[in-house]
Amino acid sequence: MPVLVITMPKFVDVDEKWPFFFADSLIIGDRKSNVAICSLWSLKEVVTKDIPRDKFTLAGNMYYNHGISYLLRAVLSNPNIRYIVLCGVDITKSGESLIKLMEKGIEGHMIRGAGVEIEKEIPSDAIGLFRKTVQVIDMRNVVDSGKILEKIN
């Protein structure tokens, strides 16, 4: 009996209007890249200065816990993203909350162990999909673009 082999495309074409939120305050790289960079409170321009734009899809800050919902929306609307490099200084512990989301999940729409609410418009199953298909690479407190590029490579 012949075996049916299904191959997934290397990348998915993403709407040219993506990202849909805060596009003017993000550094846009290659929409086909599977890496996003979240620089928390550190300047995204410093964190990405030695990283070629084709190595990441976007880079942005996440100052507060509410930003996790926007991060989820951006990643869920670009299925190419499989890795988030979490770097920079975590002044308000939004990076810590993202790590807890990945490790512990949600109860209702609250991140377990963080007391942070995810917007109710984001379905729980979408949050579950995010947790299953995206890996957060914890490089908090790293701002050296060379070290971040090394990790991306």
For 140, the 3-state DSSP assignment is strand
pLDDT of 5 over the 80 cut: no
pLDDT of 8 over the 70 cut: no
pLDDT of 102 over the 80 cut: yes
- Give me the percent of the chain exceeding a pLDDT of 70: 93
Per-residue model confidence (pLDDT) at position 10: 59
| pTM, two decimal places | 0.90
Per-residue model confidence (pLDDT) at position 20: 85
Burial of 102 (0-12, 13-18, 19+ CB in 10 A): middle
Read off the pLDDT of residues 131-151 as tens digits, 9 standing for 90 and up.
999 999 999 999 999 999 999
Per-residue model confidence (pLDDT) at position 37: 98
Per-residue model confidence (pLDDT) at position 15: 75
Is the torsion defined by CA of 25, 30, 34, 35 positive or negative? Answer: negative
Q: Which of 94, 91, 90, 112 is nearest to 103 (CA)?
A: 112
Per-residue model confidence (pLDDT) at position 42: 98
**What is the arithmetic mean of pLDDT over 87-116?**
97
